[in-house]
Structure 1
Amino acid sequence: MIRILLTTTSYQDTPGPHHDLLASSGAEVVYARGPLSEEDMLEYAGDYDAFLCGDDAISEAVIQKALPRLKIIAKYGIGVDKIDVDYATEKGIPVAFTPGVNHTTVAEHCFMLMLALSKKLIEHVEWTKQGLWKRETGNEIAGKTLGIIGLGRIGREMAIRANAFGMKVLAQDIYWPEVFAEEHHITRIENLDQLFSDSDFISLHTNLTPETQGLVNSASIQQMKNSAILINCGRGELVHVDDILTALRDNTLGGYGADVLDVEPASADHPLLSAPNCLITPHIGSRTHESVIRQATKATDNLLMLLRGESPHAQVNDCQPPVALI
């Protein structure tokens, strides 16, 4: 019997049609609570024909141990930086993913963080719970400048919402969407230093690559306004954590709102969790009922198509589907 390892918790925990769709494969599905470390994945590897995974560490070592049985990696989500795609490709394993399903909800999450930091929402809620009628003055986002790094689907949704809030929008992207940018009044900025210096809010929506790792560091923070608020719903490794901490403590960065960390899941002693003017959520930016159902259905469709020997809706690498397994 075909065996599938399913690790993504939002897929498992959210009711929806994806469960019946997966059951229709006739495969044995084994459930694990991810994201799984490399050590944990090595415990599972070797007994499965397919991984239906989230942000689990699927390294070269994991793939090596999973062979020769592993034929398919179906990613639930769009970020594949935790998967050794090059090695999977070398071994002829197709890696499917699910673009175009979570951009709306992630953009909403970014604006939630922006507004919460601007209005000091969490502090005011906690003070009120303590019986302290303490009030501090916040800031509007209307009339402010939002700098977007990466104008993919999520970055574009950010621009649409920024326009609705009456913000000025700057953006930087190698692949410039000329028509969209003109329609939504986005100013193209070629130099990141200028984007950092001119923005009141900066939101990161670029892929994690060796070139973008540590993109925001002490040097880039020095270019920013002391009041600037940085939003990161991309990848934790896009920022240099120690430099963010120093800037928050020295009041040379107005705030940091993130849905991602350099180590996930984070322990209670992660330094950003106790940093001033810092708001961290546990990688739930795409975790709404609507988005989970879209994402889970597409990931399952991709998996079933590959199991049938067909090309999936979206695939990261150039590998042929395996011989039909169902």
Structure 2
Amino acid sequence: MKKNIILYKTIPVDQFERLQQHFNVTAFDNITPENADTFRQALAGADGIIGASYPITANDLTLAPNLKAASTISVGIDQFDIDAMNARKIALMHTPNVLTETTADTIFTLVLCSARRIIEMAEMVKNGQWTKSIGESDYGSNVNGKTIGILGMGRIGYAVAKRAHAGFGMSVLYYNNHQHLDAENLLNARRCDLDTLLAESDFVCVVLPLLPSTEKLIGKNELAKMKSSAFLINGSRGKIIDETALIDALENQVIRGAGLDVFEVEPLPADSKLLKLPNVVALPHIGSATHETRYAMVKCAVDNLIAALNGDLSQNCVNPEVIK
């Protein structure tokens, strides 16, 4: 007999058909206020769930007595109440490998666009304001040969470090719970404490998961420790940075600029002060948003759910130690 699953994200047809081959599928395009109650009612008979961009709370889990596995179409797992899942011995699967290089590309794009004022200069040309050779007021900053500080030397952090070292001759500092020998031996990276990284880096790149220990890790005090010529780059989770403190730092030239793909509230409200600052590059959370990568993420998540509901947690399981 087929197990019952809930799909709560639109996915490519071929991957939807794969799910149908293995399971009885109840599908939602996305969870909205209009269909949230229907979704919660469907949880009563679900053995598995798969989707993204919707918080699965402890209360939701109480409505799903048969739930054995959840598969998120993302590497981040902050949308799930991990403690509640562990208590229920529900496997949580994610997609940690397939988006590494694409997300690193996006983060380094933010480095380049922020330093060279690419968006600002492109808009000047499009608006017909390029009427003479640019002067000093329009100059950007070099990237080549500068120092990049990476908060979080995981897969994506290491991919960013490779680009910085090999492509732009940058010195690499990193702040991480654990030593990364490949980064040190192959990229001449130096592990240091947070204060040292902030003080010495020309570009501070946040590539950390959102955890209680990382929420608002970068606030007023941390921004004040950065160089006034430095740029803050965030390609992980918006809540790691105190957005109010960042706006204040940008308005008062405490730092030179910021490149942001993520925000405390998403989508970013149209009245956000960040959108009024010329020294901010703001993207709509496009870290992994290419056709190839998003398809690979869906396929990986489908593979994960099929494997998990067949008892195989050998790949991409966040909490295998609690499933006994």
- State the TM-score, normalized to the length of structure 2: 0.89
Flag the 1:123–1:312 CA change in 2: closer, same or farther, 3 A.
Answer: same
Aligned partner letter, 1:71: K
Is 1:61 equivalent to 2:59 in the alignment?
A: yes
Aligned to 1:310: 312
Give a deviation string over 1:104-135, Cα, whole Å, max 9, x none.
01110011111111111111221211111164
Aligned partner letter, 2:125: T
3-state DSSP class of the match of 1:74? strand
Aligned to 2:207: 205
1:156 pairs with one of 158, 161, 174:
158
1:268 CA drift (Å): 1.5
Aligned to 1:108: 105
CA contact (8 A) 1:41 1:62 kept: no
CA contact (8 A) 1:145 1:170 kept: yes
Aligned to 1:96: 93
CA distance in structure 2 between the partners assigned to 1:180 and 1:132 by the alignment: 44
Aligned to 1:181: 184
Is 1:292 equivalent to 2:289 in the alignment?
A: no
CA distance in structure 2 between the partners assigned to 1:226 and 1:258 by the alignment: 18
3-state DSSP class of the match of 1:47? helix
Flag the 1:17–1:32 CA change in 2: closer, same or farther, 3 A.
Answer: closer
CA contact (8 A) 2:93 2:318 kept: yes
Aligned partner letter, 1:225: K
Flag the 1:196–1:90 CA change in 2: closer, same or farther, 3 A.
Answer: same
Flag the 1:138–1:16 CA change in 2: closer, same or farther, 3 A.
Answer: farther
1:212 CA drift (Å): 1.1
Aligned partner letter, 2:42: D
CA distance in structure 1 between the partners assigned to 2:273 and 2:314 by the alignment: 41
Flag the 1:204–1:270 CA change in 2: closer, same or farther, 3 A.
Answer: same
Aligned partner letter, 1:21: R
1:166 CA drift (Å): 1.3
CA distance in structure 1 between the partners assigned to 2:259 and 2:310 by the alignment: 42
Aligned partner letter, 1:197: A
CA contact (8 A) 1:5 1:32 kept: no
Unaligned runs of 5+ in 1: 322-326
1:57 CA drift (Å): 1.0
Equivalences for residues 1-326 of structure 1 within 5 A = 2-8=3-9, 12=11, 15=12, 18-33=15-30, 41=36, 43-48=38-43, 49=46, 50-65=48-63, 67-133=64-130, 135=134, 136-163=138-165, 164-189=167-192, 191-311=193-313, 313-317=315-319, 318-320=321-323
Q: Give the ranges of 4+ consecutive aligned residues of structure 1 lying more than 4 Å apart after TM superposition.
A: 39-43
1:248 CA drift (Å): 0.6
CA distance in structure 2 between the partners assigned to 1:148 and 1:42 by the alignment: 42
Aligned partner letter, 1:251: Q
Deviates more, 1:97-106 or 1:194-203: 97-106
Give a deviation string over 1:2-30, Cα, whole Å, max 9, x none.
54333345xx2xx5853443332242241
CA contact (8 A) 2:4 2:23 kept: no
CA distance in structure 2 between the partners assigned to 1:165 and 1:294 by the alignment: 29
Aligned partner letter, 2:120: E
1:165 CA drift (Å): 1.1
- State the TM-score, normalized to the length of structure 1: 0.89
CA contact (8 A) 2:5 2:23 kept: no
1:233 CA drift (Å): 0.7
Unaligned runs of 5+ in 2: none
1:202 CA drift (Å): 0.6
CA distance in structure 2 between the partners assigned to 1:242 and 1:72 by the alignment: 38
In the alignment of these two chains, the number of paired residues is 313
CA distance in structure 1 between the partners assigned to 2:122 and 2:67 by the alignment: 49
Q: CA RMSD in A?
A: 2.2
Aligned to 1:324: none
Q: Percent of aligned positions with the same letter in both sequences?
A: 32
3-state DSSP class of the match of 2:41? coil
